[in-house]
Chain A
Amino acid sequence: MSNGLLNKVGIPRLIISLFLAFLVAAAFSYGLPMGQIFSAMLTRFGMNSLLVLAMIPTIQAGAGPNFGLPFGIICGLIGATLAIEMDLRGFTALFFAIGISIPLGAFAGWLYGLLLNRVKGQEMTVGTYMGFSIVSVMCIFWLMAPYSSPEMIWPYGGDGLRVTVVLDGRMEQLLDRFLSFTINGMRVPTGLLLVTALCCILLWIFMRTRTGLAMSIVGSNPRFAEASGLNVNKYRLIASTLSCAMGAAGIVIYSQSYGFIQLYQAPLYMALYSVSAILIGGASLQRATITQALIGTFLFNGLLVIALPVANVAMDSDISEIMRVIISNGIILYALTRKEVGGDAR
């Protein structure tokens, strides 16, 4: 019985949960401002959740976690920078950025999906390096692109856009502040959480339409799908299109909450962090649910938020970045070396 429970929760998820609980207890005993910490956890959760949810379509369609998420992310960055270039502010800027990002991201995802269909079985490796490549191509783009908004280019000359673009007064924390309230010193970023909930509901509905169901059939057994008259490649294509579109919108939401747009090398490892979050939530390389994505996002980001102040007090050094690297890559390694259940050997 206890064994069954352990299997259900999963060893990594259990360890991370216990660790998180331990850190919360430690933070409490050190007398750290818990309200601030909890609201930071909620914010980080909201910021990242759409980027993690973006993993679901490709996992469900059998293409594995989307290591090519940067294809979507850069589209989101283009959308966000265009909004500033056009001197938009407030919700106009946000909606404009998202409105541009989604079709761009979908298109990039479609192209990326065409590639994925030709490299079945090696999606992860190819996706990772294609993601890295596109990020470095975009570095050249940021350097050369004819942006002229003074908020984005270097003030005293120098080529191209700044490494980080401040969103102050444009759309900084727009969603976070929407309907936000404070209880016990904990600020709840209501708007951000509402948007997260909306994304979850939309994704949930989509996964229950005929197309969504077909995608999941294709992922769990491509041969079954073929025998049921489904075009496997078509649904994989839809999945990567959807995933990259979500990634594009996700980075805009992330940036507004963060208050900065990070350009150049910043998106390089973002896919890895999203992948590890969903894996921590208990997903495998073949199956993932919305709940797993949400739990994973909360655990992973919660841990990072709380580790920083606790480590600062406890050992006077910044261990949180190191921990992030170890945990995120450790969980991916764990998933890679697990015996595959089902899966397509072709």
Chain B
Amino acid sequence: MRLFQKNIVPILFIIICSIGFYYSGLSWMFFANDLLTRLARNSFLVISLIIPVLAGMGLNFGIVLGAMAGQFAAFITVVYNMTGIAGFFMACLMSIPFAILFGWLTGILFNKAKGKEMITGLILGFFANGLYQLVCLIFIGWIIPISNKSLLLPSGIGFVNTLDLKIWQYAIDKFYVFRLRGITTPVLKYLNNINFPVLTLIVVAFLCMCVYLLFRTKLGQDFRAVGQNRHIAEVAGIKVDKVRIIAVIFSTVLAAWGQLIFLQNIGNVQVYGSHVQVGTFAVAALLIGGASVSKATIGQALLGTVLFHALFIVSPLAGKNIMGSAQVGEYFRVFIAYGVIGIALALHAWQRLAKKKNE
């Protein structure tokens, strides 16, 4: 019973997704393939949220900046035409300095707004998006010269809306695709004909492992100590502000890589759109997995990604079949994303208040 209570959120969403799947009328194979692709390309953005949560900074809506760092790196590879798997890894490498810079600035800002990190991160995301547009829409081609005019708007200033990433699309996804066949075991036979992007999954698994191991180091211990109580950590001699900045930098770098993994699967960048909802969707996914503002695990991140994207896949069709309009499903999943975050935040604030009263 306690297990049930503890996992009420994921259980609820499993039920919603099942109903949605039933009414969507999708075939299992299509659903499973799509889900697996989405898991591979989105899970890492969600995982990038874990470190700040454990360091007591709540849900880092500022990972939008990480996504931007990733995109800047992607633009560079496009401009210099770096192709294939090398191009992808080049992008990952080049995203690091951007992400460290952005993460460092975010961390400083968060230290100035202690206790209000989440709203600050959210607004920072909007603010950074303004600056990002300023760079991509005004500076590119005006202050920053680009030789390849086909990437620019007709006026010669600003990137076009969609940049093609065909040069390294599926760089790691297609590396080795594994497809199960001929399984006859009753339950496992559902795995037949599903494509496993093996290298992507390995990369994601490897990064998960790294995050897991990070918490077995001194730095990880500091993250957790600061997350529990800043004052006590400070008294014990831990440099709280520095540890918090490092946590945000880690998160931002991971988000940059997450965004690149995402882009290599999609195969193009919506210059002015790909990153905008990254924070909201990742946060919603993490919360649906059963995490809270102060507690999150890799398992919850993965489960949340699966459930959130299952909902994404089924809701338009389910909406159409139940309500007679695919748009309803679209809006419903947007509502779920916002609503889940809103409710989780409200519950957290509520519990904190109740706890304070009891003390």
Contact = CB atoms under 8 A, between A and B. Distances in A.
Chain A complexes with chain B = yes
Interface of A: 115, 118-122, 124-126, 128-130, 132-133, 135-137, 139-140, 143-144, 159-160, 272, 315-317, 319, 322-323, 325-326, 329-330, 332-333, 336-337, 346
B127 A329 contact: yes
Contacts of A346: 353, 356
Contact of A136 (B137, B334, B345, B346): B334
Interface in B333-352: 334-335, 338-339, 341-342, 345-346, 348-350, 352
B150 to A, nearest CB: 19
B81 interface: no
12 contacts: A119-B350, A121-B349, A122-B349, A125-B349, A129-B341, A130-B346, A137-B335, A139-B334, A160-B325, A315-B142, A316-B155, A317-B138
B346 A133 contact: no
A132 B61 CA distance: 15
A319 B341 contact: no
Interface of B: 109, 112-113, 115-116, 118-120, 122-124, 126-127, 129-131, 133-134, 137-138, 142, 155, 157-158, 323-325, 327-328, 331-332, 334-335, 338-339, 341-342, 345-346, 348-350, 352-353, 356
B216 to A, nearest CB: 32
A326 B137 contact: no
A337 to B, nearest CB: 4
Given A124-B119, A316-B157, A336-B120, 16 more contacts: A120-B349, A121-B349, A125-B122, A132-B342, A136-B339, A140-B335, A143-B327, A160-B325, A319-B138, A323-B130, A325-B127, A326-B127, A326-B130, A329-B130, A332-B123, A346-B356
Nearest to B133: A322
Contact of A132 (B142, B328, B338): B338
B342 A129 contact: yes
B137 A322 contact: yes
A52 B208 CA distance: 46
Contacts of B127: 325-326, 329-330, 332-333
Contacts of B138: 315, 317, 319, 322
A323 B134 CA distance: 8
A172 B218 CA distance: 65
B2 to A, nearest CB: 25
Nearest to A330: B127
Contacts of B348: 122
Given A333-B120, A336-B119, A337-B109, A126 B130 contact: no
A118 B353 contact: yes
A337 B120 contact: yes
Given A326-B131, A329-B130, A337-B112, A119 B353 contact: yes
B63 to A, nearest CB: 16
Nearest to A346: B356
B328 A143 contact: yes
Nearest to A325: B130
A159 B353 contact: no
A133 B113 CA distance: 25
B342 A130 contact: yes
Closest 3 pairs between A and B when the two form their complex, measured CB to CB: A325-B130, A129-B342, A119-B349
A126 B346 contact: yes
Contacts of A136: 331, 334-335, 338-339
Nearest to A139: B331
Contact of A322 (B134, B325, B331): B134
Nearest to B116: A336
Contacts of B334: 136, 139
A322 B349 contact: no
Given A121-B349, A136-B334, A140-B331, A336 B131 contact: no
A144 B123 contact: no
A128 B279 CA distance: 14
B356 to A, nearest CB: 7
B133 A129 contact: no
Contacts of B327: 143, 159-160
Contacts of B155: 316-317
Given A119-B353, A159-B327, A326-B127, A125 B332 contact: no
A71 B341 CA distance: 17
A221 to B, nearest CB: 18
A186 B108 CA distance: 47
Contact of B123 (A133, A316, A329): A329
B66 to A, nearest CB: 18
Contacts of A120: 349, 353
B123 A118 contact: no
Given A121-B349, A140-B332, A329-B123, A126 B342 contact: yes
Given A118-B349, A126-B345, A322-B130, A133 B120 contact: no
Nearest to A326: B130
Nearest to B109: A337
Nearest to B157: A317
A336 B123 contact: yes
B335 A133 contact: yes
A145 to B, nearest CB: 12
A272 B328 CA distance: 26
A125 B293 CA distance: 12
A272 B126 contact: yes
A128 to B, nearest CB: 6
A125 B119 contact: yes
Contacts of A119: 345-346, 349-350, 353
Contacts of A337: 109, 112-113, 120
Contacts of B137: 317, 322
B241 to A, nearest CB: 14
B45 to A, nearest CB: 19
Contacts of A128: 119, 122
Contacts of B352: 121-122
B338 A122 contact: no
Contacts of B342: 126, 129-130, 132-133
A121 B328 contact: no
A223 to B, nearest CB: 14
Given A120-B349, A125-B345, A316-B155, A144 B120 contact: no
Contacts of A144: 323, 325, 328
Contacts of B346: 115, 118-119, 122, 126, 130
